[in-house]
Amino acid sequence: MRVEFDEPKCVAAGQCAMVAPGVFDQRDEDGVAVVLVAEPGPELADEAQEAAAVCPAAAIRLVEQ
C-alpha cells in the first residue's frame, strides 16, 4: 500500500498523527502532516486506513500496489 498525501489540501487538524502515529507526524512550524512511512506494511495498514478515513480535508488516499 502506498500513501498519497495532497499537501495543499491539508488543514493540519492532526487527526492522522493521532490515529496513525506510525505513518504520519505534523511538522513543527504549522502542523501540516508529514508522511513518515510512504509504503506502510501490513502492521501499519489499519492505522493508515483509519487516518485516511478521519482526515477532514480528504487529503489522504491509499493506493493498493
Smallest distance from another protein to CB 8, Å: 7
Binding of another protein by 43 (CB under 8 A): no
Question: Judged by CB under 8 A, which of 1, 13, 36, 62 binds another protein?
Answer: 13
Smallest distance from another protein to CB 65, Å: 26
Q: How far is CA 15 from the centre of its chain?
A: 8
Binding of another protein by 38 (CB under 8 A): no
Alpha carbons 56 and 43: distance in angstroms, whole number: 24
One DSSP character per residue, 46-59 reads HHHHHHHHH-TT--
**CA distance from start to end of the chain:** 5
Residue numbers of the site for another protein (CB under 8 A)?
8-15, 17-19, 25-26, 28-32, 50, 53-54, 56-58
